[in-house]
Structure 1
Amino acid sequence: MKITTKINLLTTVWMLFILMFINIVVFFLFMKTTVNMETNMIFQQADDILNDIHGMPTRSVEGELKDYLTSHSYIRIIQPDGKTFYEVTNDKPFAQKIKGKFVRADESIQKMITLDNEEIQVLIIRVPIQQNHHVKGTLEIGEQLSGLEMRKDILLWILGLCTLLAVVMSIFGGRWLSNIIMRPISNMIRTMEDIEQSGVLKKINIQIETKDELQTMAKTFNRMIDRLQNNMEKQSQFVSDASHELKTPLTIIKSYANLLRRRGLHDKDLAEEAIQAIHSEATRIQKMTETFLDLASLENDQSLEMSKVDLIQLCQSIQKQLKEVYKREIHLFYSGTSLTLLADELKLKQVIIILLDNAIKYSQQKIEIFLEKNEQQTIIKVKDYGIGIPQEEIENIFERFYRVDKARSRETGGSGLGLHIAKRIVRLHKGDIKISSHEGTGSEVTIYLPNNSLIMEEA
């Protein structure tokens, strides 16, 4: 069932339920109010009768009572023993259906009787006749509520007609309302179908600013499309760059392999040069492949192998390895002799190596590592004095496949994934990573790890 049909059906059913409830309330209030008015009128009539017959000779009472008869009614006076003393009526079958009753207090009764195979509502009131503070009899007046039956039928007909009109209007109104509500959703569905068929991302055309949840949903969809387009552009750029990166070493490997195949190993110098070049380019391909695998692993695996890590010892080990390999000046600054925390050692080591590797690639001067802590967090800083990063590029530096200078990145072997991987690992540790940089003066990358998830000791 379509959503528009559901909305239409639900609004109609709910409107019908409300109208039925209101109709029932109106009907019962009308009936109660009308009967109360009739009762009050008859009680007033009874008071008038008692005032008129008070002190009147007995032979004149019957004639006086006839003057108060209405259509299809009776008036009777009942003695304390329950016998009827006087009775006047213009509808004997009706009067015979009602048995007289002596009462000592005012009483009103509404009941249904069957007369000539027809059900009729009647109203009966009984008023005690007092003389010298003693009840001498009861004045009983009975009246058919034929006018009430007619008014009730008219009311039911009006309520039924209004309900029918309201239901019809609700159906058309619900259809109109559901079309308004579903318009942006229908646009979104059509846009999605177009994307599915053509494979080309496109946005929803928002024609009217409704400022509601549906417009918010449409804008969210458009922002998602923007993000997908950006990611696709970045991935397309990455595929292009990666293809170029792989093509160069593969071409070199193939050229030297063909050279060895043609000339063999007779020329020792040439053979050593070819082997060295093939090894170098194969290592380069291996590093790129490892980077891709690291990224895929982080995307699919959210778990960490937590263990107790001596941060100072870990950074000293990394410092020693990189100084020996790159012959660069790397300084480590810390206070105390031990700084222990709970972390995934291999992943934390990977983050520090990524930061140091970037510093080595894009600077020629010294590199500094700072380890410190405060009451809330442990802080790791890597600072270089290299070429720096333009201010407008800093907010994008952690994006996947993003590279500031693509030509320079090819020269240094960058893939645009290192900082993205580093940030993801830090986030897995519930931490944060930030970078500050100025062109020509260098960059500083800071890692913040919260103390509530760390066990730290300092000698």
Structure 2
Amino acid sequence: MKMTTKINIMTTAWILCVLLAVNSIVYVSFMKITTNLEQEELGERAHNIIKEIKDESSPKIIEEKMTPFLMNHSFIRIVDKDSHMISQVSNDHNLSLKVKPAFSKTSETQRKTIHLDQGENQMIIVREPIIENGKVVKTLEFGERVVGLELGKDVLLSILAFCTIIGAVLSLLGGRWLSNIIMRPISNMIDTMEDIEQSGIPKRIVMQHKTKDELQKMVETFNRMIGRLDKNLEKQKQFISDASHELKTPLTVIKSYADLLRRRGTKNEELTQEAIESIHSEAIRMQKITERFLDLANTELDNGLDLVTINLIPLCQSLFKQLKVAYKREMVLHYKKAPITVVADELKLKQVIIILLDNALKYSTDKVDVYLEDQGQLIILRVKDYGIGIPENEIENIFERFYRVDKARSRKTGGTGLGLSIAKNIITQHFGEIKVKSQEGIGTEVELILPKMGIACKKEK
């Protein structure tokens, strides 16, 4: 069943339920109010009749005094304790036959439905006790056929039925109009999704009028999603292009030297050695690029973290020893108190620090300073070098894949342009932040901001 049909049926059913409830209240209220008015009038007449016949004992005189109180289609009777009729006056013989005499010690009123030759009729009966010497000895019974009540009831039911039918029709039309308004952007979204499915090209939903409601929010959310998808597709294309470009150069070098060896053989030892060294060097470079690809893919898949409590001071000192062997450079660790701990994935956090230290050592010739700070809920790690720096207009691009400020220098130092992308992904997984400050010719400072309790704290929240 279509959503529009469901909305139409549900709104119509709801309106009908409301109308039926209102109609029932109107009908009951009308009958109650009309009956109460008639009962009050008959009760007043019954009291007056009792006053008139109070001192009379002759049935004939009593009937004469009761006759002027008769109304259209009514009867008045006196009933004894055994519910036997003592006297009666009536201008509707059939009506009086439909109601049996009844004795009552208390005042009471009754609405009764009777069936006459004219059809179904409503009548009201009032019974008032007649008291003599402090005791109830007889009952005055006053009955009247309420002609206007039956007619009013039929008219009211006709009006209510007509209004209900009109309400149902208007509800169907209104429900259809409402469902079309609600479903229009959803239908546009479905059409757009089908176009995307068939063409494979992301498209945005065009909304003619801004309604400032949940539907517009849904459309805006969808368009933002498509925008992000566009960006991701562009990044994917750029990644493939950059990866192809990065792998093309070492493959070209390897192929060139391999062709050279095939043509000239291996008799020329100097040429052979040069070719082998170049092929080996480019193969190592390709290996590093491939490893970086795998690292980047792993961090973007978010395969989960192996969280442990890490003391950053011995961790950094251990990494310094490893890198000093390769770079023969001075690295200084600064901290005010110990220990400085953080909950994180130790292997991934090591990878981030190595990437930052590796960059600092490659692009500077002076010492590298590392600062550790415990700021309560946050841990700050800063890596500062005094090297070539980064131009201000390039800082916002350095986290992009394969982006390198100085491509010639990066190639010489063995950079792939993937390190900072990997580092940012890892820090994001830890709900942290990475910031870069740099001045060209003065140096660069990279700041890692990590929650002290790491991702565990975020999950508890």
TM-score (norm 1): 0.88
Partner SS, residue 26 of structure 2: helix
Matched, 1:446 2:443: no
Q: How does 1:226-237 map to 2 (within 5 A)?
A: 226-237=227-238
> CA 1:276 to 1:444, structure 2 compared with 1: closer, same or farther past 3 Å?
same
8 Å contact from structure 2 (residues 311, 339) kept in 1: yes
> Counterpart amino acid of 2:260?
L
Partner SS, residue 127 of structure 1: strand
8 Å contact from structure 1 (residues 252, 278) kept in 2: yes
Q: How does 1:199-210 map to 2 (within 5 A)?
A: 199-210=200-211
Q: Which residue of 1 aligns with 2:65?
A: 64
Q: Which residue of 1 aligns with 2:79?
A: 78
> CA 1:408 to 1:26, structure 2 compared with 1: closer, same or farther past 3 Å?
farther
> Counterpart amino acid of 2:359?
N
Q: Which residue of 2 aligns with 1:332?
A: 333
Q: Which residue of 2 aligns with 1:36?
A: 36
8 Å contact from structure 1 (residues 393, 404) kept in 2: no
Q: Which residue of 2 aligns with 1:320?
A: 321
Once residues 79 and 197 of structure 1 are traced to their aligned partners in structure 2, the CA distance between those partners, rounded to angstroms, is: 94
Once residues 251 and 160 of structure 1 are traced to their aligned partners in structure 2, the CA distance between those partners, rounded to angstroms, is: 89
Once residues 333 and 276 of structure 2 are traced to their aligned partners in structure 1, the CA distance between those partners, rounded to angstroms, is: 37
Once residues 404 and 172 of structure 2 are traced to their aligned partners in structure 1, the CA distance between those partners, rounded to angstroms, is: 60
8 Å contact from structure 1 (residues 409, 415) kept in 2: no
Deviation at 1:71, TM superposition (A): 2.7
Q: How does 1:19-30 map to 2 (within 5 A)?
A: 19-30=19-30
Once residues 189 and 217 of structure 2 are traced to their aligned partners in structure 1, the CA distance between those partners, rounded to angstroms, is: 12
8 Å contact from structure 1 (residues 383, 445) kept in 2: yes
Once residues 211 and 133 of structure 2 are traced to their aligned partners in structure 1, the CA distance between those partners, rounded to angstroms, is: 80
Aligned length: 454
Instruction: Name the Cα RMSD after superposition.
Output: 2.9
Deviation at 1:155, TM superposition (A): 1.4
Q: Which residue of 2 aligns with 1:102?
A: 103
8 Å contact from structure 2 (residues 112, 122) kept in 1: yes
8 Å contact from structure 1 (residues 332, 368) kept in 2: yes
Q: Which residue of 2 aligns with 1:193?
A: 194
The more displaced of 84-93 and 50-59 is 50-59
Deviation at 1:140, TM superposition (A): 0.8
> CA 1:83 to 1:306, structure 2 compared with 1: closer, same or farther past 3 Å?
closer
Deviation at 1:409, TM superposition (A): 8.2
8 Å contact from structure 1 (residues 31, 152) kept in 2: yes
Partner SS, residue 69 of structure 2: coil
8 Å contact from structure 1 (residues 242, 415) kept in 2: no
Once residues 160 and 390 of structure 1 are traced to their aligned partners in structure 2, the CA distance between those partners, rounded to angstroms, is: 81
> CA 1:205 to 1:391, structure 2 compared with 1: closer, same or farther past 3 Å?
farther
The more displaced of 287-296 and 327-336 is 327-336
The more displaced of 253-262 and 68-77 is 68-77
> CA 1:50 to 1:428, structure 2 compared with 1: closer, same or farther past 3 Å?
same
> CA 1:432 to 1:190, structure 2 compared with 1: closer, same or farther past 3 Å?
same
> CA 1:134 to 1:287, structure 2 compared with 1: closer, same or farther past 3 Å?
same
Deviations 1:218-263, CA, capped at 9 Å, x for gaps: 1111112222222222222222222111111110010011111222
Q: Which residue of 1 aligns with 2:351?
A: 350
> CA 1:16 to 1:266, structure 2 compared with 1: closer, same or farther past 3 Å?
same
Once residues 340 and 96 of structure 1 are traced to their aligned partners in structure 2, the CA distance between those partners, rounded to angstroms, is: 103
Deviation at 1:50, TM superposition (A): 3.1
8 Å contact from structure 2 (residues 242, 402) kept in 1: no
Q: Which residue of 1 aligns with 2:272?
A: 271
> Counterpart amino acid of 1:176?
W
> CA 1:133 to 1:437, structure 2 compared with 1: closer, same or farther past 3 Å?
farther
> CA 1:141 to 1:309, structure 2 compared with 1: closer, same or farther past 3 Å?
closer
Once residues 207 and 440 of structure 2 are traced to their aligned partners in structure 1, the CA distance between those partners, rounded to angstroms, is: 41
Matched, 1:419 2:420: yes
Once residues 211 and 49 of structure 2 are traced to their aligned partners in structure 1, the CA distance between those partners, rounded to angstroms, is: 71
Q: Which residue of 2 aligns with 1:247?
A: 248
Once residues 32 and 105 of structure 1 are traced to their aligned partners in structure 2, the CA distance between those partners, rounded to angstroms, is: 21
Q: Which residue of 2 aligns with 1:219?
A: 220
The more displaced of 367-376 and 319-328 is 319-328
Q: Which residue of 1 aligns with 2:287?
A: 286
Q: Which residue of 2 aligns with 1:436?
A: 437
Once residues 390 and 25 of structure 1 are traced to their aligned partners in structure 2, the CA distance between those partners, rounded to angstroms, is: 80
Deviations 1:390-427, CA, capped at 9 Å, x for gaps: 556555654x5373648568646555432232233234
Partner SS, residue 104 of structure 1: coil
Q: How does 1:137-152 map to 2 (within 5 A)?
A: 137-152=138-153
Matched, 1:92 2:93: yes
> Counterpart amino acid of 2:267?
H
The more displaced of 262-271 and 95-104 is 95-104
> CA 1:409 to 1:171, structure 2 compared with 1: closer, same or farther past 3 Å?
farther
Q: Which residue of 2 aligns with 1:303?
A: 304
> Counterpart amino acid of 2:257?
Y
> CA 1:437 to 1:217, structure 2 compared with 1: closer, same or farther past 3 Å?
farther
> CA 1:55 to 1:200, structure 2 compared with 1: closer, same or farther past 3 Å?
same
Deviations 1:307-360, CA, capped at 9 Å, x for gaps: 565533332333233334344443333456865655433212111111123323
> Counterpart amino acid of 1:229?
D
TM-score (norm 2): 0.88
> Counterpart amino acid of 1:50?
I
Q: Which residue of 2 aligns with 1:11?
A: 11
Structure 2 unaligned residues grouped into runs of 5+: 456-461
Once residues 405 and 186 of structure 2 are traced to their aligned partners in structure 1, the CA distance between those partners, rounded to angstroms, is: 42
Once residues 147 and 338 of structure 1 are traced to their aligned partners in structure 2, the CA distance between those partners, rounded to angstroms, is: 97
Identity among equivalent pairs (%)? 54
Once residues 215 and 390 of structure 1 are traced to their aligned partners in structure 2, the CA distance between those partners, rounded to angstroms, is: 42
Deviation at 1:167, TM superposition (A): 0.8
Deviation at 1:451, TM superposition (A): 3.2
Deviation at 1:13, TM superposition (A): 1.0
> Counterpart amino acid of 1:159?
L
Partner SS, residue 67 of structure 1: helix
Structure 1 unaligned residues grouped into runs of 5+: 455-459
8 Å contact from structure 1 (residues 396, 402) kept in 2: no
Deviation at 1:138, TM superposition (A): 2.0
> CA 1:294 to 1:32, structure 2 compared with 1: closer, same or farther past 3 Å?
same
Partner SS, residue 48 of structure 1: helix
